[in-house]
C-alpha cells in the first residue's frame, strides 16, 4: 500500500488497561514499518472514566486530519 494513502492513525491506552501490551506491540510494529502514527499512554484502565477523559482529544486529531477547523461534539 502507498504509505501516502494510509489514513491518519492515532491511538492511546491506559497503562492499567489489559490491552496495554497489544497496543505497545502495534505501536512498535507500525514504527518498524515506518508508518506514521500517534500513540500515547496515560494513567487509567479500560473503562468509561478513561474513555470520557480521552475521547475529545481523539476526535480533535481526526477532525484536523479531515481538514475541519472547528468541532461540534
Per-residue confidence at 43, pLDDT binned at 50, 70, 90?
Answer: very high
Whether this prediction's pTM lies above 0.75 is answered by yes
In the chain, % of residues over pLDDT 90 = 62
Q: Please determine, for residue 69, whether its predicted confidence score (pLDDT) is greater than 70.
A: no
Query: 37 to each of 11, 15, 23, 69, how far by Cα in Å?
Result: 8, 19, 12, 21
- Residues contacting residue 35 through CB under 8 Å, at least 6 positions apart: 3, 6, 9
Q: Please determine, for residue 62, whether its predicted confidence score (pLDDT) is greater than 70.
A: yes
Amino acid at each position: 500500500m502507498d504509505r501516502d494513502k494510509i489514513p491518519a492513525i492515532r491511538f492511546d491506552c491506559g497503562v492499567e488497561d489489559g490491552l496495554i501490551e497489544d497496543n505497545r506491540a502495534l505501536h512498535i510494529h507500525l514504527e518498524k514499518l515506518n508508518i506514521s502514527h500517534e500513540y500515547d499512554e496515560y494513567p487509567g484502565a479500560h473503562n468509561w472514566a478513561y474513555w470520557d477523559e480521552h475521547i475529545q482529544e481523539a476526535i480533535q486529531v481526526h477532525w484536523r486530519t479531515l481538514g475541519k477547523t472547528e468541532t461540534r461534539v
